Amino acid sequence: MAEPVLHDGEDLSNAVRTRLAAVQGAGQRTWTPSQAVVRSAEGVWLTTVEGRRLIDFASGVLVTNLGHGHPGFASRLARYCAGLPRNSYNLVTEIEVSASERLVASLAAVNRNAQKALWAASGSEAVQKAMWVALARRPDRPIIAATRHGFHGKKGLAADVTGATSKNPNVRFISFPMEEAHDEAFYQAELDRLAAEHAGRIALLITEPYLGAAGSYHPPISYHQMLARWCREHDIAFIFDEVQSCFGRTGRMYACETYGVEPDLVVLGKGVANGVPAAVTVGRADLIDALTWGEASDTFSAHPEACAAVCATLDVFEEERIVAHVQEVAPQVRAGLEQLVARYAFVRAVRGEGLVYGVELADADAARACVLEAYRGAAGMGVHFLGPLAGKVLRVSPPLTIQPNEIDQAFALLTKAWDRIAD
């Protein structure tokens, strides 16, 4: 049994952590140095069982884009859910139709290939269904192309295209711009070699807009446009995994708009329902329709509450101009992060866009120390991070509703906390 994470002076939290370790496997959650025990949450604030307040710099895992307890979201969700059945497997509800129509229309405003939807209960399942339809449309094409070091999930085909190697003999990886200094010709040559080696046998290419789990690497716009061009030339389905980047995270409603591409299939998840489990693939009708009755069904896909949450989320985004707000506050967040780079020798780099950034630390020890000291904070307040990505990168992804004064508070707390590491 993995030992629980315990902290001095947190008797109530330690009791909860100890109880959890006795009845739940450690594999249930990702390890982080803090393991905050939260009693309540509102807006960008988490309150621990000891009453300490933490500014949420994680949003779950880019899930609660509208923050916690958003009153407009909560009231709309309750209204949409009133009287609905608790399942969707063998029946149809109007809210499912409305949610599908609204998602297709929302994405179609920036991507003409958004024509039909295929629901799932999690991001990795939606990724898998996107790959299923691409393979089903061209059963004569078994080869799957994916960009290296991506994270698409831990299940089935989604796991097969995650990382840099695969047990699936049909998967082929291509390079994604990270720290190496290659020009576009390098990546184009790699694509051309792949097309020549597997001429007429590649069904799909799947990529993320940016590499999140690998350490927050955001490519030049020309890279994704090159991938889209290559897919069109070879009749290969281009899949954009926007599970963590959709709904405003990159400064646009969809990352495909940020990067100026119109993928054949776009996978949406995490923030799409503001914390209610939901995911959906939206794309070309001929691809979605490659599967017939039951071939993509499962118990919880298009659950009425999930569809209601998507509609409630879309309502708030439209009425409160959430994407415009992201564009307004993003420069303030970037400036704060760049000041951390200038202030601390152990903060090496900042990478990101919109309201998603990676802060690269000197090493894993420095990253763990930064998470812990941010959690401890000062005067009963702190900042909540996920555990380090790729060993030494902290993701900064607060709720999109964060206000300028809260951004200032967060960086004031981080400065006090990380000064203790620098001393």
pLDDT digits (tens, 9 = 90+) for 126-149: 999 999 999 999 999 999 999 999
H/E segment holding residue 261:
none
Q: What is the pLDDT of residue 417?
A: 98
Residues 51-107: tens digit of each pLDDT: 999 999 999 999 999 999 999 999 999 999 999 999 999 899 999 999 999 999 999
- Strands 45-48 vs 38-42: parallel, antiparallel or unpaired: antiparallel
Q: What is the mean pLDDT of residues 327-333?
A: 98
Q: Which parts of 199-321 fold into alpha helices (H)? A: 221-233, 255-258, 285-288, 304-319
d(CA 220, CA 229): 15
> 287, 329, 422, 372: which is closest to 32 by C-alpha?
372
* Three-state secondary-structure class, residue 393: strand
Residues 342-371: tens digit of each pLDDT: 999 999 999 999 999 999 999 999 999 999
Architecture of domain 32-69+321-422: Alpha-Beta Complex (3.90)
28-29-35 Cα angle (round to 5): 130
d(CA 246, CA 264): 16
Looking at every residue in the chain, the average pLDDT score rounds to 97
Does pLDDT of 242 surpass 70? Answer: yes
Residues 190-203: tens digit of each pLDDT: 999 999 999 999 99
Return the minimum-mean-pLDDT range out of 1-15, 67-81, 372-386: 1-15
pLDDT band of 121, cuts 50, 70, 90:
very high
Q: How many alpha carbons fall within 13 Å on the CB side of residue 309?
A: 24
Q: Delimit the domains of the chain by residue range.
A: 32-69+321-422, 88-302
Looking at residue 352, its amino acid is: G
Q: What is the pLDDT of residue 351?
A: 97
Q: What is the pLDDT of residue 191?
A: 98
pLDDT band of 2, cuts 50, 70, 90:
confident
CB 58 within 8 A of CB 356: no
Chain-centroid distance, C-alpha 301: 19
From the number of C-beta atoms within 10 Å of its C-beta (0-12, 13-18, 19+), residue 233 rates as exposed
Looking at residue 339, its amino acid is: Q
The DSSP secondary-structure symbol of 150 reads B
Looking at residue 180, its amino acid is: E
CB 4 within 8 A of CB 20: yes
- Phi first, then psi: what are they for 87, rounded to 5°? -150, 165
- Strands 53-56 vs 381-384: parallel, antiparallel or unpaired: parallel
Distances from the Cα of 189 to the Cαs of 75, 175, 193, in angstroms? 53, 11, 6
Does pLDDT of 1 surpass 70? Answer: no
Q: What is the pLDDT of residue 114?
A: 98
H/E segment holding residue 119:
strand 116-120
CB 141 within 8 A of CB 202: yes
Indicate if the alpha-carbon torsion angle 43, 360, 152, 175 is positive or negative: positive
Confirm or reject CATH 3.40.640.10 for domain 88-302, answering yes or no.
yes
* Three-state secondary-structure class, residue 301: coil
Neighbours of 146 (CB within 10 A): 28
Q: What is the pLDDT of residue 181?
A: 77
Work out the end-to-end distance of the chain between its first and last CA atoms, rounded to an integer number of angstroms.
36
- Phi first, then psi: what are they for 342, rounded to 5°? -70, -30
- Strands 143-147 vs 202-207: parallel, antiparallel or unpaired: parallel
d(CA 84, CA 150): 37
- Strands 279-283 vs 265-268: parallel, antiparallel or unpaired: antiparallel
d(CA 364, CA 392): 5
